[in-house]
A = this chain, B = another copy of it.
Amino acid sequence: MPTNRISSLFNIKYPIVQGGMIWCSGWELASAVSNAGGLGLIGSGSMYPHILKEHIKKCKAATYKPFGVNVPLLYPRTDELMDIIVGEGVKIVFTSAGNPKKYTSFLKNHGIVVAHVIANKKFALKAAEAGVDAIVAEGFEAGGHNGFEETTTMVLTPMIRKITDIPLISAGGIGSGQAILAAMALGADGVQIGSRFAASLEASGHINFKQSIVDAGDGDTKLTLKRLVPVRLIKNDFLREVESAEYAGATKEELLELLGRGRAKKGMFEGDLIKGELEIGQVSGMIDKILPVSEIIHNLILEFHEAAKRIKENTVWIS
């Protein structure tokens, strides 16, 4: 095997991580990605502890390849999730949306490889200090929760590369082989891809949600809730409702209540495109078909090859 720091770290074929996504990345998606040579992640953010346990067991049965679990650190039952992860012998954990200090050493003491998702320099340095094995730098264009700085992948990736030597995974706006090559040009060792995998056959989201990813075009997503927890959503009635409330001066508690009414489940899992919360990245504007994971990975590699070839042939101007 040729060496790549991310491939080596996770013992995978391609340095392509499937981002953990609530309501979308269960065992079926994670195992499919891992079987295709990437790193599949079970997204535990929408799972009760016993549900996570079930997904891990099923994932282990579905693949011999490495897979991991993503744990957003903003939910109340994180301790329980971590105990299940350790108990089930999961070897890779991606933490996000919280302080990396809290769980990194706990996980590493159990022999688990840890990556942490950040959106600015401050948290990249905190992650490095906490001793993570890899950093995911997620840009403004990414779906779901996002940073307050609004720094895009084009700027964030080299900015983080500049301040740390830790293996770096670029995320946000990446849904093609061309974008993988671009991320590597910017200094990333690997990439994390969400939206493209959310619109796969194996994703657990509702077919309506998958179709809405395909239908989304230019400017159809928006980073909203900037004063609370910035999150990128498809523009729909729910987003407009949230923005009206925010604009009218709703308190943090009122906004949280509005969000708390199972709207993410309603949108992404039950397929209510009007009243549901639909988390997806800007790159949805480039996704035009629901595909099986194996075909997605195949295309990514093919496009990467083509882009690398084109670059080699067309950059003689620099010599």
List residues of A whose CB falls within 8 A of some B CB: 1-4, 7, 13-15, 120-122, 139-141, 147-155, 158-159, 162, 172-174, 176, 178-179, 181-187, 217-219, 222-223, 282-283, 285-286, 301, 304-305, 307-308, 311-312, 314-319
Q: What's the minimum C-beta distance from A16 to chain B, rounded to whole angstroms?
A: 10
The answer to whether A314 and B173 touch across the interface, beta carbons within 8 angstroms, is: no
A-B CB contact pairs (8 Å), 15 listed: A2-B317, A147-B219, A150-B222, A151-B218, A151-B282, A151-B285, A152-B172, A154-B172, A154-B182, A155-B173, A158-B178, A182-B182, A184-B311, A185-B307, A311-B311
Q: Which residues of B contact A141 (CB under 8 A)?
A: 140, 151-152, 154-155
**In the assembly, how many copies of this chain are there?**
2
Q: Which of A139, A141, A218 has the most CB of B within 10 A?
A: A218
Q: What's the minimum C-beta distance from A173 to chain B, rounded to whole angstroms?
A: 3
The answer to whether A158 and B286 touch across the interface, beta carbons within 8 angstroms, is: yes
Known contacts being A153-B152, A219-B120, A222-B150, is A182 close to B173, with CB within 8 Å?
A: no
Q: Which residues of B contact A120 (CB under 8 A)?
A: 218-219
Taking a contact as CB atoms closer than 8 A, the residue among B2, B147, B154, B305 that contacts A179 in the complex is: B154
The answer to whether B14 and A219 touch across the interface, beta carbons within 8 angstroms, is: no
The answer to whether A218 and B121 touch across the interface, beta carbons within 8 angstroms, is: yes
Known contacts being A217-B121, A311-B311, A315-B308, is A154 close to B173, with CB within 8 Å?
A: yes
Chain B residue nearest in CB terms to A7? B317
